């Protein structure tokens, strides 16, 4: 069912001279979150327990997410042979638990769950597009392009199911927007921050949320260009049921771009103040 396999990646073209060292840390952290996809599929299977077609789709989706983790992890070990992907992921799994063993969606409805899933796929599709465009190292470039294509397909998958559920659940625009913005905001929670910690920090250093999220976000934000934010905003509007193009989306994209820049500056300042070297 997958659109590509690890063997399709031209690993022998790896060129250490073209590796951007700043990207290695981001790739290591991203590998943690991606590899954790099976955990999320378990939760989705519970939330959609009487919907076998969706459960099947969620299982296929998780397989692709796990493969993203495997590809990024393997690349990171080429770029930094001292790094151990399996050991880092074990640390991640031990220290970070997805905060839901709930029997139904923590978003209050299945439509809400699907809107939240759409937001995550918007985040990942724009992130890997941005990384792919910035990655000069040919293998990483290829991996990020393949992953970005998967993430756009994942958005479409959850969006199609969302439309089906909205037909029966009928939740209004304010609620849809609230869930969407809430999920976007959650990107600053522990999931990414702890991934940064497990993937990049020495075991002797204890986890600090502010330090780790600032380290991750300040670096990641530097790769975004306006076009990535603009496309992401259009997808957010589409997911909540608004027109993805037009005056509203233009204004929202400009606002989102300003927010991304402002947050980046804040995270850069925090990362400098909180970096372990300062402690």
Residue ranges in contact with Fe ion by CB under 5 A: 34, 65, 68, 121, 151, 154
Q: Compute the distance between CA of residue 267 and CA of residue 273 in angstroms, rounded to an integer.
A: 10
CB-neighbour burial class of residue 262 (10 A; exposed 0-12, middle 13-18, buried 19+): exposed
Instruction: Name which of 36 and 109 has its Cβ closer to Fe ion.
Output: 36
Instruction: Name which of 71 and 252 has its Cβ closer to Fe ion.
Output: 71
Encoded tokens for 185: 């905001």
Instruction: Name which of 157 and 271 has its Cβ closer to Fe ion.
Output: 157
Beta-carbon-side half-sphere exposure of residue 199 (alpha carbons within 13 Å): 30
| C-alpha gyration radius of the chain | 18
- Least Å distance, CB 74 to Fe ion, is 15
Q: Compute the distance between CA of residue 49 and CA of residue 218 in angstroms, rounded to an integer.
A: 39
Instruction: Name which of 40 and 83 has its Cβ closer to Fe ion.
Output: 40
- Least Å distance, CB 47 to Fe ion, is 17
Instruction: Name which of 107 and 154 has its Cβ closer to Fe ion.
Output: 154
Number of Cβ within a 10 Å radius of residue 248: 13
- Least Å distance, CB 37 to Fe ion, is 7
- Least Å distance, CB 106 to Fe ion, is 19
Closest alpha carbon to 149 in 128, 131, 120, 119: 128
- Least Å distance, CB 192 to Fe ion, is 13
Q: Compute the distance between CA of residue 127 and CA of residue 113 in angstroms, rounded to an integer.
A: 21
């Amino acid at each position: 069912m997958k659109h590509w396999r690890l063997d399709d990646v031209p690993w022998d073209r790896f060129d250490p001279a073209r590796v951007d060292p700043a990207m290695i840390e981001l790739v290591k952290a991203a590998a943690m979150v991606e590899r954790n996809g099976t955990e999320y599929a378990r939760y989705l299977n519970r939330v959609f327990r009487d919907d076998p077609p969706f459960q099947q789709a969620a299982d296929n989706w998780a397989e692709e997410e796990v493969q993203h983790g495997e590809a990024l992890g393997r690349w990171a070990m080429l770029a930094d042979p001292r790094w151990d992907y399996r050991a880092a992921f074990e640390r991640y799994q031990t220290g970070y638990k997805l905060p839901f063993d709930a029997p139904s969606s923590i978003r209050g409805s299945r439509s809400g769950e699907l809107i939240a899933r759409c937001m995550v796929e918007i985040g990942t599709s724009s992130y890997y597009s941005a990384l792919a465009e910035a990655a000069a190292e040919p293998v990483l470039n290829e991996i990020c392009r393949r992953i970005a294509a998967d993430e756009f397909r994942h958005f479409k998958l959850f969006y199609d199911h969302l439309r089906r559920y909205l037909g029966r659940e009928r939740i209004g625009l304010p609620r849809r927007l609230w869930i969407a913005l809430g999920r976007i905001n959650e990107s600053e929670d522990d999931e990414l921050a702890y991934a940064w910690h497990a993937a990049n920090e020495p075991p002797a250093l204890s986890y600090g949320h502010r330090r780790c999220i600032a380290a991750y976000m300040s670096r990641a934000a530097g790769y975004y260009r306006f076009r990535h934010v603009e496309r992401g905003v259009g997808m957010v509007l589409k997911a909540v049921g608004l027109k993805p193009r037009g005056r509203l989306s233009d204004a929202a994209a400009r606002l989102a771009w300003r927010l991304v820049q402002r947050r980046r500056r804040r995270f850069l300042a925090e990362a400098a103040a909180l970096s372990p070297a300062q402690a």
